[in-house]
Amino acid sequence: LVKMENLRKHMYRVQQLAQQTVGMAEKSEVRSEDLLNVEQRVETMVEILHRFKSKLGDCLRSRSKEENMEKRRKKVDEYNLALTLFQESKHLNTLCTNGDSLLSSVMSLYASSLFLIVDDMVRLDMDIEKQVFENLMPFLEAQKSVIHIKEKLKRLVLDMDAAKTRLAAAQSRGEKVEQIQDELANAQIRVENCKDSLATEVFNIASKEIDMANLFSTLIKLQMEFFETTHRSLESCLSLVNDRIAKHPRRPVFGCPLDEHLRNNGREIALVLEGLFRISGNALKIRRLKASFDAGEIELSEFEHDPHSIAGVLKQYLRELPDPLLCTAYYVDWMKAVG
């Protein structure tokens, strides 16, 4: 029976869609212009976030399904550079018979700094994956839910329009219409409920725009911390490198100014000397209203004949106040007043 009913509905949908395509039947639009506008804005925002995630992912040079730090750092080009410099500096140093090689020492210092920077790069990539990518996913998943509900709403609207067409045809032929009227009423209820669910999902996403923006704030902070750490590492490395160069004893003597030569040798002269309402509102509509208020997309014209849902939203607002309306600070005084 269920399969037969589904097959019958599908046949009516196909017929209705065909008639709408050739202009023989009207196509209902149950969503308000405001909802359509917010829906389009939300869809655009999520598409942007999706492209942002993809392009940002291309910027991560140590991306890997593994959390292993060592395996990830080997994906970074600077790691191979640092490793090469470190190995070559050791090799060069073995060839120096009269003390440490200046070039070997400088290469080793720079390699050590690069290893630290690579570790910071890997940590930055992992932090971006956890704090940005993982927090992006709920928005992308929520949009998938919106798409699913829109498809469902499209089918339900076709069912409703098909029932209207069949009702009009039956009335024109003078046939009994009670069953079709019941089907139409049920279809309209299902459409209304689905529309409320869609609006709730859309407004929920719209209300999260500040959370979306905060992802960029998080990314900027992470990158700022990385560049600050990298700057400190390179600054320290530069200081050490310059110090090694300045203190390197072996340097040209001929063609070197005397004061520079004395300074390099630590001498002053060339010669060494001896120094609230009762009736509960519709839960779906309350959730929709709550979401629309959070999103700043307030449209109350559809609720002119539904004061209970409005009251329900007011009660929900009062329940969710961080500090009760009568103030926690005056609890003892209120108890005394009641007593």
Q: Could you tell me the CATH number of the domain that includes residue 307?
A: 1.10.555.10
Under DSSP, the state recorded for 301 is: G
Can you say how many angstroms the Cα of residue 297 is from the centroid of all Cα atoms in its chain?
22
Residue 72: inside a domain, yes or no? Answer: yes
Answer yes or no: is 98 within a domain. Answer: yes
- Give me the pLDDT at residue 275, please: 41
Largest CA distance in the chain: 130
User: Do 111 and 221 share a domain, yes or no?
Assistant: yes
- Residue 128's contacts (CB-CB under 8 Å, 6 or more residues apart) are 56, 60, 219, 222
Q: Does residue 218 sit in helix, strand or coil?
A: helix
Domain that holds residue 52: 33-247
Rounded CA gap, 260 and 238, in Å? 21
Last residue of a domain, one of 247, 277, 310: 247
In this structure, the answer to whether residues 126 and 180 fall within a common structural domain is yes
CA 152 to chain centre: 26
- What CATH number is associated with residue 123? 1.20.1270.60
Residue 158 belongs to a domain: yes
Task: Write the pLDDT tens digit of every residue in 177-218.
Answer: 788 888 889 988 999 999 999 999 999 999 999 999 999 999
Percent residues over pLDDT 90 in the chain: 41
Mind listing the pLDDT tens digit for each residue in 113-154?
A: 999 999 999 999 999 999 999 999 999 999 999 999 999 998
- State whether 170 and 287 are in the same domain: no
The predicted pLDDT at position 5 comes to 56
User: Are 64 and 136 members of one domain?
Assistant: yes
Distance CA 37, CA 100 (A): 71
Q: What is the C-alpha to C-alpha distance for residues 237 and 168, in angstroms, rounded to an integer?
A: 84
**Per-residue pLDDT, 246:** 83
Q: What does the block give as tokens for 181?
A: 């009227």
Q: Does one domain contain both 238 and 288?
A: no
- Domain final position from 213, 247, 281: 247
User: Do 125 and 187 sit in the same domain of this protein?
Assistant: yes
